[in-house]
Structure 1
Amino acid sequence: MLPEPMLARLVSFPSVVGRPNGAIIGFVRDYLAGHGVEARVLPGPEGDRSNLFATIGPAGVPGLILSGHLDVVPAEEPQWLDDPFAMRDREGRLIGRGTCDMKGFVAAVLSAVPDLVAMDLPAPIHLALSYDEEAGCRGVPHLLARLPDLCAPPLGCVVGEPSNLTPVLCHKGKAAIRVVTRGRSGHSSRPDLGSNAVHKLLPVLEAVVRTEAALREGACDPRFAPPYSTLQAGVVRGGQAINIIPDRAEIEIEARAIAGVDPVALLQPVRAAAGEGAEIEVLSAYPALSLPADHALAHLMTGLTGKTPLGAVSYGTEAGLFQQAGVPAIICGPGDISRAHKPEEFLTRDELHAARALVVALARKVARGEGLR
Structure 2
Amino acid sequence: MLTLLEPVWNAIDPQRLRQTLMDMIDIYSPSGKEEDIQLYLEERLAAAGIAVQRQILDPEEPERFNLLATMGGETPPLYLMGHVDTVAAWDIEDYAAVEEWGVVRGLGSADMKGGCAAMVEAWLALATLPPEQRPPLGLLLVVGEEENGDGSACFLRQSKAPPWVVIGEPTGLLPAFSHYGYMELALTTQGRRIHSSLPELGHNAISSMLRVLLQLERSELFDGPDARLVYSIREMSSSRAGFVVPDRCETLIDLHLPPDLGPAEVRQQIEALLAKARRSIRELDLEQSFDFEACGYQLPLDNPLTAVLEDVYPRLNLPLDPLPFRSHSDGNLFFEAGSQPLILGPGSLETAHTAEEQTSLAQVEAAARIYAALALVAARLRP
TM-score tier by shorter-chain length is 0.7 to 0.9
Please give the secondary structure, in 2, of the residue aligned with 1:112. Answer: helix
**Distance of 1:230 and 1:351 partners within structure 2:** 27
For residues 303-343 of structure 1, give each alpha carbon's deviation from its aligned partner in whole angstroms, at most 9, with x where no partner exists. Answer: 33345341424334322322121100112212333343343
Whether 1:348 aligns to 2:348 is: no
- Give the 3 Å change call, closer, same or farther, for CA 258–112 of structure 1 in structure 2: closer
CA contact (8 A) 1:297 1:328 kept: no
The sequence identity of aligned pairs, in percent, is: 26
Using the TM superposition, give the Cα deviation of residue 277 of structure 1 relative to its aligned residue in structure 2, in angstroms: 7.2
Using the TM superposition, give the Cα deviation of residue 47 of structure 1 relative to its aligned residue in structure 2, in angstroms: 4.5
Using the TM superposition, give the Cα deviation of residue 217 of structure 1 relative to its aligned residue in structure 2, in angstroms: 4.9
Whether 1:168 aligns to 2:168 is: no
In structure 1, give the amino acid aligned to 2:343. I
Which residue does the alignment assign to 1:32? 45
Q: Which moved more, 1:5-14 or 1:111-120?
A: 111-120
Using the TM superposition, give the Cα deviation of residue 75 of structure 1 relative to its aligned residue in structure 2, in angstroms: 3.7
**Distance of 1:90 and 1:237 partners within structure 2:** 39
Q: Which runs of 5+ in 2 are unaligned?
A: 1-12, 279-283
Which residue does the alignment assign to 2:229? 229
**Distance of 1:202 and 1:84 partners within structure 2:** 35
Q: Which moved more, 1:301-310 or 1:346-355?
A: 301-310
CA contact (8 A) 2:206 2:248 kept: yes
Which residue does the alignment assign to 1:181? 189
**Distance of 2:61 and 2:18 partners within structure 1:** 31
Which residue does the alignment assign to 1:21? 34
**Distance of 1:285 and 1:53 partners within structure 2:** 27
In structure 1, give the amino acid aligned to 2:39. G
**Distance of 1:163 and 1:297 partners within structure 2:** 16
Of 118, 124, 147 in structure 1, the residue corresponding to residue 159 of structure 2 is 147
CA contact (8 A) 2:76 2:137 kept: no
Using the TM superposition, give the Cα deviation of residue 162 of structure 1 relative to its aligned residue in structure 2, in angstroms: 2.1
1:73-88 maps to which residues of 2 (within 5 A)?
73-76=87-90, 83-85=94-96, 87-88=97-98
1:1-373 maps to which residues of 2 (within 5 A)?
2-16=16-30, 18-34=31-47, 35-43=49-57, 47=61, 50-57=64-71, 60-76=74-90, 83-85=94-96, 87-119=97-129, 120=131, 123-135=135-147, 137=149, 139-148=151-160, 153-188=161-196, 196-198=204-206, 201=209, 204-205=212-213, 208-209=216-217, 211=219, 213-214=220-221, 217=224, 228-240=228-240, 243-263=243-263, 265-270=265-270, 273=274, 280=288, 284-306=292-314, 307-366=319-378, 369-370=379-380
Q: Which moved more, 1:348-357 or 1:260-269?
A: 260-269
CA contact (8 A) 1:216 1:230 kept: no
**Distance of 1:344 and 1:230 partners within structure 2:** 22
Please give the secondary structure, in 1, of the residue aligned with 2:310. Answer: helix
- Give the 3 Å change call, closer, same or farther, for CA 185–67 of structure 1 in structure 2: same
CA contact (8 A) 1:19 1:49 kept: no
**Distance of 1:45 and 1:257 partners within structure 2:** 36
Q: How many residues align?
A: 354
Q: Which moved more, 1:97-106 or 1:191-200?
A: 191-200
TM-score by length of 2: 0.77
CA contact (8 A) 1:137 1:285 kept: no
CA contact (8 A) 2:66 2:151 kept: no
Using the TM superposition, give the Cα deviation of residue 7 of structure 1 relative to its aligned residue in structure 2, in angstroms: 0.8
- Give the 3 Å change call, closer, same or farther, for CA 56–350 of structure 1 in structure 2: same
CA contact (8 A) 1:168 1:331 kept: yes
Q: Which moved more, 1:239-248 or 1:283-292?
A: 239-248
In structure 2, give the amino acid aligned to 1:167. P
In structure 1, give the amino acid aligned to 2:307. H
Q: Which moved more, 1:341-350 or 1:247-256?
A: 341-350
In structure 2, give the amino acid aligned to 1:93. V
Q: Which runs of 5+ in 1 are unaligned?
A: 221-226
In structure 2, give the amino acid aligned to 1:257. L
In structure 1, give the amino acid aligned to 2:95. P
In structure 2, give the amino acid aligned to 1:131. V
For residues 269-324 of structure 1, give each alpha carbon's deviation from its aligned partner in whole angstroms, at most 9, with x where no partner exists. Answer: 54573889755565544332311111333333333334534142433432232212
**Distance of 1:137 and 1:267 partners within structure 2:** 22
In structure 2, give the amino acid aligned to 1:52. N
For residues 174-214 of structure 1, give each alpha carbon's deviation from its aligned partner in whole angstroms, at most 9, with x where no partner exists. Answer: 11122233445333566687664335536743552355x23
**Distance of 2:77 and 2:359 partners within structure 1:** 29
**Distance of 2:221 and 2:159 partners within structure 1:** 39
Using the TM superposition, give the Cα deviation of residue 46 of structure 1 relative to its aligned residue in structure 2, in angstroms: 9.8
TM-score by length of 1: 0.79
CA contact (8 A) 2:82 2:112 kept: yes
Please give the secondary structure, in 1, of the residue aligned with 2:138. Answer: strand
The CA RMSD over aligned residues, in Å, is 3.6
- Give the 3 Å change call, closer, same or farther, for CA 348–201 of structure 1 in structure 2: closer
CA contact (8 A) 1:169 1:309 kept: no
- Give the 3 Å change call, closer, same or farther, for CA 279–132 of structure 1 in structure 2: farther
